[in-house]
Amino acid sequence: MSADNHEARPPKRSRTEDTPRQSSAATPLDLDNFQCHEEFWFDDGSIVLIAQQKTGFRVYRALLTAQSTIFADMFTSSSPSAEEMIEGCPVVHLSDTPEDIAHLLRVLLPKSQRLLYSRKSILSFHQLSAIIRLSHKYHVQDVLDQAVEYLQTHFTSTFDAWTSNTALRVPLFSARHAIGVVNLARLIDRPALLPIAFYRCAQLGGDVVSGYRREDKTVEYLRRRDLRRCIDGRNELAEQAASVLAEVFGNAYPCDACVRRERCAIALLNLSARMVADEFVSEVDVLTSWAGRIEEWAEDLDLCEPCRRAVITQDRRARRQVWDDLPTIFGLTVEGWAASEDEDETTDPDTP
């Protein structure tokens, strides 16, 4: 289902732009400045792929056709002439960068071990982005599915996963890569990736307009409507931050299980005052838990254990409500988002 009912999807590019092509017999190959890719030039390869910058990949036709319907259709639809050969191999021109092609080939034609998704895998965003874009373009569905699954562990659609360390600490991802995730989600029509991707874009502030620089030095930007969503959503998140503060600390009363109500009432008032004075209050990173500060200050203020747990539970409930509202905050429609998990709010929360 589309993530935005009000925005038409961009028109598909023509086949000449989307798919590889073989050299025309009327135009002999121009091999000036041609260079063989160091990693993917097999002496017994049966086809040569030429990417941007005249970088050639000599690889195995049969292995590519077995995994990509686009390559299979193209290879069976034409017969190259002698002018279209390099070292006896037919030539295919690709519109992709050498870096992107190499990332895809490391999955399709691994020289050591197949680079596929696993929970122990550590992929850079450049790797992941290239694999998703090209496996989508060349119809390598199993690779696309696994790469998207990896991305979803970090740009999750479940609150429980978000509050775990896995979703928050991504070794080879930077904050700006959220811009690329928004664009990937649009490309492959995976709306469940969008709420958290937009949330992370909103954390960039004004830097979001600068885009992010790909491995090949090109810069990728949000589309204009998505940039507006990000800006409007950031303003809404600032308002949500104030609401969360009021919900968690506005009613500074001891919990039902408290056994020293007078002392805890004073401690809760002081805890609320500390939170209001904390500069963190104005941050738009409203999904980040207050639990760490609550733990630290509760001990300092001698707040009883039941009251401490009650405040932390309320903090989690308030953040969960913001989570449920993320699609609305960014003007998105994501089917099943708020109903994606049935959480027991009485359990002790995890601290992200």
Query: Would you place residue 113 in the very low, low, confident or very high pLDDT band (cuts 50, 70, 90)?
Result: low
Residues 196-227: tens digit of each pLDDT: 999 999 999 999 999 999 998 999 999 999 99
| Nearest one of 230, 231, 212 to 221, comparing CA atoms | 212
Across residues 53-75, what is the average pLDDT? 91
AA letter at 217: K
Q: What is the mean pLDDT of residues 8-15?
A: 41
pLDDT of residue 10: 40
Check residue 21 and report its DSSP letter: E
What's the CA gap between 151 and 188, in Å, rounded? Answer: 13
**Residue 48 is inside which H or E element, if any?**
strand 47-51
Task: Determine the length of the chain.
Answer: 352
pTM of the model: 0.84
Least confident of 13-22, 75-84, 164-173: 13-22
Q: What pLDDT, on a 0 to 100 scale, did the predictor assign at position 262? A: 92
- pLDDT of 342 > 60? The answer is no
pLDDT of residue 119: 57
The per-residue pLDDT for 184 is 98
pLDDT of residue 118: 59
Q: What is the pLDDT of residues 314-334, one digit of tens each?
A: 999 999 999 999 999 999 999
Can you give the pLDDT at residue 112? 62
To which H or E segment does residue 141 belong? helix 141-154
Question: What is the distance between the alpha carbons of residues 274 and 149, in angstroms, rounded to a whole number?
Answer: 41
Look up residue 155 and give its two tokens: 């740009």
Q: What is the pLDDT of residue 346?
A: 42
